[in-house]
Every structure is written in structure tokens, then in C-alpha cells.
Amino acid sequence: MYGVSQDPIRGAVAANLTMLGEGGYAPGGRGLPQRFPHPASSTFIQNNYLRVVVLPDGRMELLHDPERLAQYDNVSPAMRLSPSLLNTTHPAGRVIDSTVEIVEPAGYLSVVESRLELEANGRGFSETRTLTMQSDSPWLRLRVRRNGPPGRFVSRVDLPDYDRIEVGDEIANVVPRSSLAPLVVSCTDGARPPLALLATEPGGLRSFSWGDGHLDLHSDSAEPFEIALVLLDGLYRSQQRYELLRFLSTPRESMAMPGEGGATVQNLLGMPVVEVVRVRSNARGPYHVREFGRWMHRGAQPSRLHPGEDYVKVYLPAQGRAEIRDYGFIDGIARPGWGCQYTTAIVDCTREQSRCAVDVEVNDITSFLFAPRLRFAEPIARAWLDGAPWSYLDGDELFLPNRQGRYHVEIEAGAATEPHLARTFADISQASSTMNTLTFTARLPEWTESVPDGFHFAALIRHPGRELRGLENARLLRGGRDASMIQFDTGEVSGAL
């Protein structure tokens, strides 16, 4: 659940169809409607582009969601690209058993291992296929390793709707081991998206051959090999397959987080990529990631394959880079406040003695959060928003207008002595104070157009060491020497102390 919730639609997920496949069941014996046309004992691995279903007999089906919403059930527009993704044969072999293990279940990266037990000439041997998918990426990695008798193997990828293959810049039917150039298969009628097949780790591969709606991978048992299947539909073009091969053939090593300096991920390619990097950090996530000039909160996926390391996803523009830091205060100044880590981005932070400045973007708002906010490393004495005094704060947190936009915030560190607004579900457009007064302007939040008759907003006001003596356009609900609760409607509200 943690892995899926980090990136609900675009995440990589591996699981079983125990409840929703054919013959599936729920705990307690309750029957559920069948949602997927595969046996309940099947295993799948997917992201928002592709799904591979590993059937109980070891066969694998490849599906594609053209809407990129990770919907592959009976009523979705998902299409089948391959009814048999990798069917391996040996001149004298047969499959006698099949098992599947989910190695990395969900998050930015998912890994599934399918193991076939085969028999040839009275001798047993095995083939292990490792399928890897990552979040929001239109490709699938497929690694094959064998433990068995020497000899030639053929691994067939059935593509019944495809009728054209490109090798390099030409049309060809056989690709020898000496070149193993990136292949592109396509449909002349455009019914299926083009696919690139890349030999990311040639190893035991000897050649490719193209037949009537199928691609054969000729190999031997001496070395493992890996291929990648890439959708060339929207994000990447056929001409970029050589850069894709370069990217997928050179996985990045694990990166250490050297204290506050963090780590930098560089993209040397002339195309954008989504990369999942392995990070070693004593903090163990979450992280800050600086992409496209903004610091974003990024959750961590603890790795099962590499204990003590986290997977972190970064979006890299062409010839661009991203920075990763532990989830502390950016430059020792500020970070997104609780509840809005995924909806706010910090553009820049600066400090001059006790005064700090932050440029922040509010990218989304929600009715579940009364105001987007920043948390500072020190308590806030006074604040300014876009150059005007701003008295909507509490301790080390500064609250922003509940509207999308970019804001320039300045604060002076120290103990707050002037009265200030501290909590309200109203949207605040202006808030200022002196030692004796507090004035703010309240609006309806953007996510509502009206309120019921008799509805009023409430607010918590803090006034250290003072008492609230008078209110305009509001009434006192509960008063005290250091704080008060008031009730009000939209418009300008003021109080005297």
C-alpha cells in the first residue's frame, strides 16, 4: 500500500490476481466479480503504460493502456500487444514446472522473477526471466538466464498484429550477432503502437529473426542476456531508439548521500528520461529532489534487492540534471509544511542574518487542508508576503493563501510578539498586525462556491501576553490572555487588544 500510494496511477506495481482473476475469491469466502480475463493464480507487473501477466504455465502476455491510466480490466481500452511475450524452446526440451516470485512489489520500481523448470534428453534445467518496470516509463526490461545443457535456444516473441520491422534505417528479416542493432516493429494499419526492441545486454544472444508476426531471439545457455521493449508512442520517436539503447544499457551505480551536499543526477542525452536511482543515506528517506528549478518532496521506496538503499525517482530533461537531498530544511531554512508536501514546491531559499526569504509555488489545493504552508527551521517573529506584512503564522509555520500561485515570503526569526492569525478554514488574502490590532480579509476557499445559511468560519488568534478587547465583523467564541477563538463571515475582520 505504501508503494502504490506514492504514485497511485503512474507507479510500478507487481501483485497476484487472487481476488479479481478467473476463479478468484476474497477473504472469508465472499465472491467478487471477475475483473480480469486471466486465472486468479496469475501474477502481473505493470505501470501506466504496460502490463505483463505471467500465467500459471509460465506464458506471458503483454498489454498496453493507450490512455496511460493503468487500467487493464475487462472494461478498459487496454489492448494486447503480445499473447506470448517470451516462449523459449530447446530442440529436445519441455516445461515441467513454473513458479513466480515478486521481488520488488510496488513503488518507483517493480521486479518479478518467473522461473521455468524444463527437461531435455532426460536432464533437467531451468530458465529464469526477470521482468523490471519503473514508474511512468514506457518500457519493460526482460533478462533471461539459464542453467542447463549447452545448445541453441529460441525465445519467441509473438506479435500477431505487427507486420513490419526496421533494422537501423532499413527493412530486414535477420539481424546477426555482430550488429544487434535496435529493432522497431510496427503495424502498417496503425492499430498498435510501434515497439522498439533493444539488446541492452547482448550476452548469450546470437541473432534476431523476424517471421510471420513473431520475432525470434536465438541464443545459447552460456551467458544471460537482457532486452528492453519500448513503446514508441508519444513520449519517444523511432529515431531516438539509439539514445534509448545507450540509456538503458548503462544503469547508474548506487549513489551515496554525502551529508547536506546531496547527490546530483545528470542526463547527457538529447531527450528527457525518467530515472529511478538507488540512494544510500543514513536518513532513509523521504527526500527533496530539485527538478526543473524547483525543490519537490519525493517519497522513498526501500529496496528489497539492495537492503539499506532506497529507490528515488527523478525526472530529467534533455541535457538536464536533478539534485537529491535528505528531507531536511532546504539550505537550513525551510521546507514544505505538513500535509502539503506534494502540492507545494520551493524555488529558492536565501538567508541574511536573522532574515530569510523563500520563493514558493502552490501547485494544487485541497479541501482536506485548510491552507498550504511552509515550515521554517526557526520560530517566526514577523513575516511578509509579496512585500506586504503577513500575520498568518504559528510558531515555525507560515500559512499561505489557499490559492494556486507563486509567492515570495520573507520572515524574521525570533519569538512572535504581535497578534497573529493561527488557524482558519477561510481563505486569507490579507493579514497584518501591530502590537494593538489585527486585521485580515477572508474569502471562500476556491474549492467551494457557497456555504449554507447560518454557516460561519472560525479562527484561532494568538496574542501573546495580551487580551482581545474588541472585534469588528466577528464575535468572540472563547477568550484568553494568550489566544482566542472567534467566529466570522467572509470580508474584512479586525480585532483590538
Instruction: Give yes or no for a contact between 304 and 343, defined as CB atoms under 8 angstroms apart.
Output: no
> So what's the pLDDT on residue 256?
83
Mean pLDDT on 432-456: 93
> So what's the pLDDT on residue 94?
72
Count the Cβ atoms, other than its own, within 10 Å of residue 392.
25
pLDDT in tens, 231-289: 998 778 888 888 999 999 888 888 887 666 688 999 999 999 999 999 988 777 789 99
> So what's the pLDDT on residue 193?
93
Residue matched to cell numbers 504514485? 7
Q: In what order do the strands lie in the sheet with 123-134?
A: 93-104, 109-120, 123-134, 139-147, 225-231, 195-201, 183-186, 164-167, 170-171
- Helices marked H in 214-319: 241-249
Cα 434 to Cα 438: distance, rounded to the nearest angstrom: 7
pLDDT in tens, 397-413: 999 999 999 999 999 99
Cα 373 to Cα 397: distance, rounded to the nearest angstrom: 7
Whose CA is closest to 112, among 156, 65, 50?
Answer: 50
pTM value surpassing 0.95: no
> So what's the pLDDT on residue 192?
93
pLDDT in tens, 45-104: 999 999 999 998 888 999 999 999 988 888 889 999 999 998 877 655 677 788 999 999
Residue with the bigger pLDDT between 87 and 144: it is: 144
User: CA angle at residue 488 from 485 to 489, to 5 degrees?
Assistant: 155
Q: For the chain, which domains are there?
A: 2-249 (2.70.98), 255-326 (2.60.40.1180), 334-496 (no CATH)
| pLDDT of residue 434 exceeding 90 | yes
Residue type at 265 in one-letter notation: V
| pLDDT of residue 117 exceeding 90 | no
User: Which residues share a beta bridge with 98?
Assistant: 116
Mean pLDDT on 455-469: 94
pLDDT in tens, 150-198: 667 788 899 999 988 887 655 555 555 455 778 889 898 889 999 999 9
Cα 367 to Cα 405: distance, rounded to the nearest angstrom: 17
Cα 98 to Cα 95: distance, rounded to the nearest angstrom: 8
Mean pLDDT on 2-23: 77
pLDDT in tens, 314-354: 999 999 999 999 888 999 999 999 988 889 999 999 999 88
Residues 6+ apart with CB under 8 A from 276: 108, 109, 134, 135, 311, 312, 313, 314
> So what's the pLDDT on residue 266?
93
Task: State the chain's mean pLDDT as an integer.
Answer: 88
Mean pLDDT on 8-33: 74
Cα 183 to Cα 189: distance, rounded to the nearest angstrom: 19
User: What percentage of the chain exceeds 90 in pLDDT?
Assistant: 59
| pLDDT of residue 37 exceeding 90 | no
| pLDDT of residue 17 exceeding 70 | yes
> So what's the pLDDT on residue 90?
62
> So what's the pLDDT on residue 460?
97
Cα 281 to Cα 287: distance, rounded to the nearest angstrom: 10
Task: For residue 261, give the 3-state DSSP assignment.
Answer: helix
| pLDDT of residue 119 exceeding 90 | no
pLDDT in tens, 361-391: 999 988 888 999 999 999 999 999 999 999 9
Residue with the bigger pLDDT between 421 and 481: it is: 421
